[in-house]
């Protein structure tokens, strides 16, 4: 697990650290506001767009192989980015880093799904969630410290030895696995999946800044996605088996992942803006105020497998989502200290995401681990984008009471996701 968790940690740091270092990067390289936005967003865009293809490569050639390739690419690209003197080059490097991390993530989640079972799998995903939460908490702090100290370039250069160490440990410790199912390399499926996911993530990120461009991208995403789904249903060896979504328990778990990750990501944005715009706090003070949520995500990932000794997985997942909804509702009351409600939001996400991710593999086979892992990670990525786009738009459109309305709507949606599987059972 150590090299796998190092790969997750490196990715979490890459995602979260750039935001606080962005002013320093923008000042040195002369980036425009739009270029700065792309520098932050392009990593997640390319990560989401290439996850399905990366998982298919892992199924065919070995999941250990793609983890090592991803980590090697991460080391090389960070070295190039650390010496970049052009903003465009740095944006391209960040895009390619997202592709490299897609290989790592696809290999990590598929390996966990294929090699761990029962409580071991829950523990493995708990450690995955805890590591991601830790990286998300440390990233903004690390980005700010390095930008103000030795320089932002050390965000990239410092990742090189971490990636090398993780790669060497992966060679030594990680067991290899691959799918016995026939691998599909249908060019139209691959191209349409990349276009659909890339356009959708672009639309989510640009919804507020460039609504017209976002609308065009959304149409492209929908058309590409419909084409992709229909093609998979016709192919004998599809890139993604659409039948997975008809497996009992699979679709509810995906819905929970999308909703819970969306609410968690949106709460970070909404609370940060609220503290700065309404209460007049500095960016640093807002960042420190958000640390309890990130720490609670890490704790939730560790607590989830332990709590299963006393509570069933479904009941614990529902409880976790209810806790997250309660934290969001508490934020609507605008408490003087936001730490406690943020802990509830983070703890609910940490526990709920761990168990929902585990549930996906419990209802599928080892051969499907690559596809399931890709779907899971796309769910997390799109959930975060949807949460920021939808709840952020509510807060922005409503000049008065926008923050309150947004967190209340988020709380209602999370509650609905918690109750969805119960309603489905009653209907049968």
Nearest Cα residue to 352 out of 283, 297, 280: 297
Please give the C-alpha separations between residue 144 and each of 16, 18, 132, 401, in angstroms, as whole numbers.
11, 9, 19, 31
Spans of the chain below 50 pLDDT: 423-428
pLDDT at 320: 94
**pLDDT of amino acid 424:** 44
Q: What confidence score (pLDDT) does residue 421 get?
A: 60
Q: Which pLDDT belongs to residue 423?
A: 44
Exposure string of 385-405, with b = 16+ CB inside 10 Å and e = fewer, is bbbbbbbbebbeeeeeebbbb
Equal fold, 1-178 vs 242-428: yes
Element (H, E) at 19: helix 2-29
Q: Which fold has domain 242-428?
A: Growth Hormone; Chain: A; (1.20.1250)
Sequence spans of domains, the chain: 1-178, 185-238, 242-428
CATH class given for the domain over 1-178: mainly alpha
Distances (CA, A) of 14 to 199, 271, 281, 386, 401: 22, 22, 26, 20, 34
Q: Would you tell me the crossing angle of helices 33-61 and 2-29 to the nearest 10 degrees?
A: 160
What's the pLDDT score for residue 305? 81
pLDDT at 205: 66
| Contact criterion met (CB below 8 Å) for 193 and 221 | no
Q: Which pLDDT score is estimated for 244?
A: 83
**Model confidence pLDDT, tens digit, residues 281-336:** 776 677 778 888 888 888 888 888 888 888 888 889 999 999 999 999 999 998 88
């Amino acid at each position: 697990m150590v090299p796998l968790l190092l790969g997750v940690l490196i990715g979490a740091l890459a995602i979260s650290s750039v935001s606080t270092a962005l002013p320093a990067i923008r000042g040195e390289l002369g980036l425009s506001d739009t270029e700065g936005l792309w520098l932050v967003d392009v990593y997640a865009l390319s990560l989401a767009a290439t996850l399905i293809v990366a998982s298919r490569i892992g199924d065919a050639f070995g999941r250990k192989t793609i983890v090592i390739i991803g980590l090697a690419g991460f080391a090389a690209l960070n070295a190039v980015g650390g010496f970049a003197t052009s903003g465009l080059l740095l944006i391209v490097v960040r895009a390619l880093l997202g592709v490299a991390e897609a290989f790592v993530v696809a290999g990590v989640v598929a390996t966990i799904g294929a090699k761990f079972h029962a409580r071991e799998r829950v523990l493995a995903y708990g450690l995955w969630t805890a590591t991601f939460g830790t990286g998300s908490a440390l990233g903004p702090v690390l980005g700010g410290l390095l930008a103000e100290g030795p320089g932002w370039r050390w965000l990239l250069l410092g990742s090189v030895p971490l990636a090398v160490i993780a790669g060497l440990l992966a060679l030594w410790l990680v067991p290899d696995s691959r799918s016995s199912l026939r691998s599909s390399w249908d060019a139209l499926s691959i191209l349409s999946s990349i276009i659909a996911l890339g356009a959708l993530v672009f639309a989510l990120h640009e919804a507020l800044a460039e609504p017209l461009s976002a609308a065009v991208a959304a149409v492209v995403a929908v058309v590409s996605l419909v084409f992709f789904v229909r093609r998979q249903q016709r192919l004998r060896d599809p890139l993604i088996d659409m039948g997975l979504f008809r497996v009992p328990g699979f679709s509810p778990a995906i819905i929970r992942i999308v909703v819970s990750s969306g609410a968690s990501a949106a709460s970070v944005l909404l609370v940060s803006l609220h503290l700065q715009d309404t209460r007049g706090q500095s960016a640093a003070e807002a960042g420190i105020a958000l640390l309890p949520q990130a720490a609670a995500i890490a704790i939730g990932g560790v607590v989830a497998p332990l709590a299963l000794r006393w509570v069933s997985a479904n009941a614990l997942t529902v409880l976790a989502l209810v806790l997250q909804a309660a934290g969001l509702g508490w934020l609507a009351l605008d408490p003087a200290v936001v730490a406690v409600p943020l802990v509830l939001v983070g703890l609910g996400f940490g526990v709920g995401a761990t168990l929902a991710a585990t549930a996906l593999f419990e209802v599928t086979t080892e051969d499907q681990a690559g596809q399931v892992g890709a779907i899971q990670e796309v769910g997390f990525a799109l959930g975060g984008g949807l949460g920021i786009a939808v709840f952020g738009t509510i807060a922005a459109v409503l000049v008065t009471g926008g923050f309150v309305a947004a967190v209340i709507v988020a709380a209602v949606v999370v509650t609905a996701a918690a109750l969805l599987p119960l309603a489905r059972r009653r209907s049968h």
